[in-house]
A and B are shown apart, each in its own frame.
Chain A
Amino acid sequence: MSAVISSLAQVTPQIGNLVSAHPDRYFVLGLILISPLLGAIINGFFGKKIGREGVYITAVATVGMSFLFSLFAYFTLYKTAHAPVAEGAAHGPAQLSYVVWDWFRAPVGAGTVQLKLRYVLDELSGVMLLVVTGVGTLIHIYSTGYMSHDEGYARYFAYLNLFMFSMLNLILGDSMVLLFVGWEGVGLCSYLLIGFWFTNTQYATAGKKAFIVNRIGDVGVILGMTILAWKTGGFEFAKIRDALNVDGSNALTALNEKPEFNDVVAYFLSFGRTDSKVFEFWMKVIPEFSWGGAACFFLFVGCTGKSAQLPLYVWLPDAMAGPTPVSALIHAATMVTAGVYLLCRLSFVYVHFPTVMAIIAVIGALTALFAASIALVQNELKKVLAYSTVSQLGFMFAACGVGAFSAGLFHVYTHAMFKACLFLGAGAVMHACRDKQDLRDLGGLKQFTPHTFRTFLIATAAIIGTPFVTAGFYSKDEILFRALASQNANHAWVGKFVFAALVAGATMTAFYMCRLLFLTFWGEFKGWSLNKEDYPNYVEPSHDDHGHGHDDHGHGHGKPWDPPHENPPVMYIPLYVLAGMSVIAGFVGLPYLFTHKESVWGQWLIRSTEHTGKPITEWNLVMTEPRVHSAEITAMAAGFAAFAIGLGLAWWIYLSQKGEPARKLSSSMRPVYQLLVDKWRVDELYDFIIVRPLRFASEFAARVIDRWLIDGLVNLVGIIPRAFGALARKSQTGVVHTYGAVIALGLAGMFGWVVFLPTAAISARADGGERVTVEVHGGPNYAYAWDIDGDGEFPAEFGTETRQSGTCRKLESPDGRNVCRVSVRVRNAFGHISTISRVIELPASESGSR
């Protein structure tokens, strides 16, 4: 494989030279980005003018170009990464970058940071780039067939191209800011595409739900990003990374700072009265949490929104209201994995915070389990796939949580292939079956849609982890193994727990995916009667009732008794490509057990995702260690068991019970046959032991938690501000006198404030040791009494001096921080008095005077 790659890389020697000469001028990145944007602009503005063909060509060509450029860039990157270096010199990081222009300057900490509009291709973004543009191109091609009957094709492709542009911004941006721009952009496109058929209110509501839930996540991202930049002095990933890589660096110390954060929260929660009891209460209640931990946690909250994890996963199943290719591209293969990408991108920060990692791992594992349990009983094709996506994303997060970022990303990559294939297959099924997608209506499609069947079968095999031949097996196995082998520095149980949960999740996955497969493609077709005689009253329809609104593709043309039909090649060729990838994609990540060396995948991402020696990965992947080796075998066995149990159970229930295959199976397996003979007993057992508790559990999950609790919370978030708004709105009576009275009241309030509540701006400086200087600015005729030493006693006399120095006694601080408190009583010109205090950070005692 590497031979092929390097021979391809031979094509680009000049570019290679160019890169080394001008590190920020690799313009191919600009071409990758600009071409989908160009497509979006052309389709958005001139879509009506250039016609249907023009729109198709523009959309596919621009994204295809982007893919070709991506391949080119990737091979150039590969060549750079493997270029020979001078003897003894360390191999530099492989990256290509392109600076569009200087963006803006941000004062961070003491200095200012010049933020550039800069795109970087490195190992991590390279992998994502290929997945996004590759799958994106296939889905664009597929969409030309799928949307061929829809009126809004130009709008659709404009949104889709815009999505590609935003996604590329997200993965290629070299800073948190640029990533966030992309993050918002993909959210917007997703929102627009979910509500694409906005004539249907239910779909528009789904769009809204996605939107609101994602806003909650966005607040997390903004907070996390701000804290991170503030504490490490940069928005750029490279800068943050460099700041952290120095052991005992200032940035790391800054991230590990603890109580200041609590101070701020407590300060806010006690409305700024630091001298109040409320403040002290909050200082005790808020658990210790460092700035860095908070940043990581907030960013993860953002990820749970975008990547549909507990508890913010609720929007994704509803998001299936959009056109099916959109579900495949945005809600399965690319956008929803942005959260995983973000974690991998910032893995070098995350590894410093084991508790946050533990939270991520547990949330991921629980999501995997929870969503899989719901998927067991869903009856809609796309709903099952949606919950399956949530569940698989849980796998990825669990992997990241246990420190196996490369494994998580590996699953992103393989999952993109097989889940896109499954969704597109589902779309093909719906396209073929007049938009029927209820599993109870489908069946027997094997004979009608052979291409769809074959590809769906392969993709299902991949997702359930069919051993040795499918990509899903390798990526899932890697996650299970790394989970089992991991040791969280603070919470050792996490690895075992995640492993157990994921194995259970994998079992369920195998079961529900096989159930889906069997019910759709095996058995009798139940969608409509295929006998012409059943339609005695059929008359040839007139062609003007051409309704649009659902996944509707004008099937009114066929006769009602026509069987489901196979789709055009433009739709099944992408399926074959994706199915093929679902098989071969895994071979870049062969486990160590087989090859006795680090896999191609792991080797490629080692710089981006492996951070040995940090608390979370203290176990240092040492391949010869027997414990690790045995863990790998255990994991593989568990993965195999999950596959076998799930598949077997599904087979037994959905095929065996139907007669022919059951008899064949029963003759070879006596005990199973015995059970099958007593049909009621099996039904009872099945119902009583498996279905009823499971159904109860999943319905409980689906109804109570999903619909009631979480939807309720989401609605509440919207209701509260509106209620207040309505209240405030009522005060606007429309009568001038009310307005005048409010002005008068406001004025009176302002007078009251300046007369009765003296305030002064206070600033303080630590002069070294326990010496401090404090300055206040109050107003004319203000007088002050000082309590510099912090003993709570003020002199009786007020003076007019606005500056005071003195010795400030260190406070008893539980976290050992060097602080003291100074207070000033302020008497204003009206003779009223109030007290202001401020906590001052003293310099560390050993540093002496500054």
Chain B
Amino acid sequence: MTIQISHYLILSALLFSIGAAGFLVRRNSLVALMCIELMLNAVNLTLIAFNRWMPANAGGAVPHHGHVFAFFVIAVAAAEAALGLAIVLSLYRIRKVVRTDDANLMKE
């Protein structure tokens, strides 16, 4: 069996779904952060797999849009994680909670 593009795509789709499901199910905000990271990495996998699969253009070179995109995603994901942890920490300082369902002061 050869590993084809579809395998990568199915893997990344699975990763994305696991991340999304985890985000929706788990109540720990740190885990939620990790799930988001997982989703972003699934996206990266998709992008890179697609870029590998892309046919060369007229000049014979393969454009690297997917790779470039993936790098940006990695950079932004890092920034996002930093900010997310800061917010979680800040909430923890005030209310001593990390569970997301404890953060329900505001509703209705």
Contacts and interface: CB of A to CB of B under 8 A. Distances in A.
Report if A and B touch in the complex (beta carbons < 8 A).
yes
B100 A735 contact: yes
B79 to A, nearest CB: 21
A740 B23 contact: yes
B107 A744 contact: no
Nearest to A741: B24
B108 A737 contact: no
A734 B27 contact: no
Given A735-B100, A735-B101, A740 B24 contact: yes
B97 to A, nearest CB: 12
Nearest to B32: A736
A736 B101 CA distance: 7
A724 to B, nearest CB: 14
B108 A744 contact: no
Interface string B29-67: 000100000000000000000000000000000000000
A629 B68 CA distance: 95
Interface residues of B, number: 14
Given A741-B24, A744-B20, A744-B24, A736 B103 contact: yes
A729 B106 CA distance: 12
A730 B23 CA distance: 23
Interface in B78-104: 100-101, 103-104
B3 interface: no
Interface string B1-41: 00000000000000000001001110100001000000000
Contacts of B107: 732-735
A740 B23 CA distance: 8
Contacts of A732: 107-108
B106 to A, nearest CB: 6
B75 interface: no
Interface string A773-797: 0000000000000000000000000
B68 to A, nearest CB: 26
B101 A737 contact: yes
B24 A734 contact: no
Interface in A731-749: 732-737, 740-741, 744
Given A740-B23, A744-B24, A734 B100 contact: no
A729 B32 CA distance: 26
Contacts of B106: 734
A744 B35 CA distance: 15
B103 A730 contact: no
B108 A734 contact: yes
A737 B24 contact: yes
Nearest to A734: B107
Nearest to B104: A734
Contacts of B104: 733-735
A737 B105 CA distance: 14
Contacts of A733: 104, 107
B100 A736 contact: yes
Interface of B: 20, 23-25, 27, 32, 100-101, 103-108
Which 4 pairs between the two chains have the least Cβ-Cβ distance?
A734-B107, A734-B104, A736-B100, A729-B108
13 contacts: A733-B107, A734-B104, A734-B106, A734-B107, A734-B108, A735-B107, A736-B32, A736-B100, A736-B101, A737-B25, A737-B101, A740-B24, A744-B20
Given A735-B100, A736-B101, 15 more contacts: A729-B108, A732-B108, A734-B103, A734-B104, A734-B105, A735-B101, A735-B104, A735-B107, A736-B100, A736-B103, A737-B24, A737-B27, A737-B101, A741-B24, A744-B20
